[in-house]
Amino acid sequence: MAKKFIKMIYADQVLWNQDGLVPAITQDALSGRVLVLAWMNREALETTVTEKRAVYWSRSRKKLWRKGEESGNILKLIELQLDCDGDAILLKVEAINGIACHTGRQSCFYKTLRGESWEVFEPVIKDPEDINP
């Protein structure tokens, strides 16, 4: 049976780029820490709203990417916001296992610039070998 999609009016208010994508900043709802920057297409946005979890568009794989579908590190949607220009989305989430990054860290933003090089400042919570079988 084919899925029947209802046109979502809120998705019409997003300013999609020439590739039909919009940047999606993902933030911990409690701490405010930025966890992930990814991309969404219309289907990813609508699926995120429907499933109440972070779903992105994988530009490399050219398909929907349900964060945590393999690792179990699901990002549960708490709130969704659109910026003033309509060209960026903010997802406020709860990281179910406290991990958002495929490297086993809380955030994908775990390096800081020190002088002329990037320095890792965040420890690994779970070995990536155990996350991405």
pLDDT mean over 13-41: 97
What CATH number matches the domain at 15-131, 1.10.260.40, 3.40.718.10, 3.10.20.810, 3.40.50.300?
A: 3.10.20.810
Rg (the chain; Cα; Å): 16
Given a cut of 70, whether residue 112 has pLDDT beyond it is yes
Total-model pTM: 0.86
CA distance 4 to 6: 7
Q: What is the pLDDT of residues 67-97, one digit of tens each?
A: 988 888 999 999 999 999 999 999 999 999 8
Given a cut of 80, whether residue 38 has pLDDT beyond it is yes
Q: Domain extents for the chain? A: 15-131
Given a cut of 60, whether residue 4 has pLDDT beyond it is no
Helix locations, 3-63, DSSP H: 9-12, 42-51
The whole-number pLDDT of residue 50 equals 95
Given a cut of 50, whether residue 37 has pLDDT beyond it is yes
